[in-house]
Amino acid sequence: MGEMQPVTILMVEDEDAHATLIERNLRRCGVSNPVLRLRNGREALDYLFGRGTYANHPRPDHLLILLDLNMPEVDGYQVIREMKTHEACRVIPVIILTTTDDPREIQRCYDLGCNNFVTKPVNPVEFAKTIQNMGLFINILALPCCT
C-alpha cells in the first residue's frame, strides 16, 4: 500500500459556534489533521486560487473541504461551482455542512460535485461516521495533487 498523504482540512464556516462544534467533533473522532478555518466563500476561493491575501501563500497539496452553504458575500454553492470548473481543484473532496435538509438543495449540492452532505446541528454519531468514512476514503485512495 502507498504512503499516506498528509491532508489539510479546509473548514469554510462563518459561524464561530458551528466552527467550534465541527472542530471539536473532528478531534473527538481522532482526526488530528491540520484544520484551517476560513470565514466565507470569498476567502475560500482566494485561498484555493492564490488570490488576494493568499496570493503568495503556499497551499497544501492535499485538501479536504468542509463547506457551509449559507455565508455572506460568496455562498457555498458559488464556491463549489467555481472550484469544480478548475482542473486543479476539481479533485478536492468536499463535504457540505449546513443547516438545510431540503432534498432539492441536497441534490443541487451533489449535482455541483460535493462528495457528502451533513445537516447541522450535527448529530455527533452521524458526524463521526461521516468523518471516519471520509478519512477511510482519503487513506485508501491516493489523492491527486491539487496544486
Cβ burial 3-18 (10 Å sphere, 16+ → b, else e): eeeebebbbbbbeeeb
pTM assigned to the model: 0.84
pLDDT per position as a tens digit, 14-52: 999 888 888 887 777 777 888 999 999 999 999 999 999
Contact status, residue 29 vs residue 133, Cβ threshold 8 Å: no
Task: Report the distance separating Cα 66 and Cα 117, nearest Å.
Answer: 10
Q: 8-140: which CATH topology?
A: Rossmann fold (3.40.50)
Please, is 1 exposed, middle or buried when counting C-beta atoms within 10 Å of its C-beta (0-12, 13-18, 19+)?
Answer: exposed
- Of the pLDDT bands very low, low, confident and very high (cuts 50, 70, 90), residue 1 is very low
Q: Which three cell numbers stand for residue 94?
A: 468536499
Q: Which three cell numbers stand for residue 134?
A: 471520509
pLDDT per position as a tens digit, 47-98: 999 999 999 988 888 898 999 999 988 999 999 999 999 988 999 999 998 8
Per-residue model confidence (pLDDT) at position 137: 60
**Count of CB atoms within 10 A of residue 41's CB?**
24
The CA angle 78-16-51, to the nearest 5 degrees, is 40
Task: Report the distance separating Cα 68 and Cα 140, nearest Å.
Answer: 26
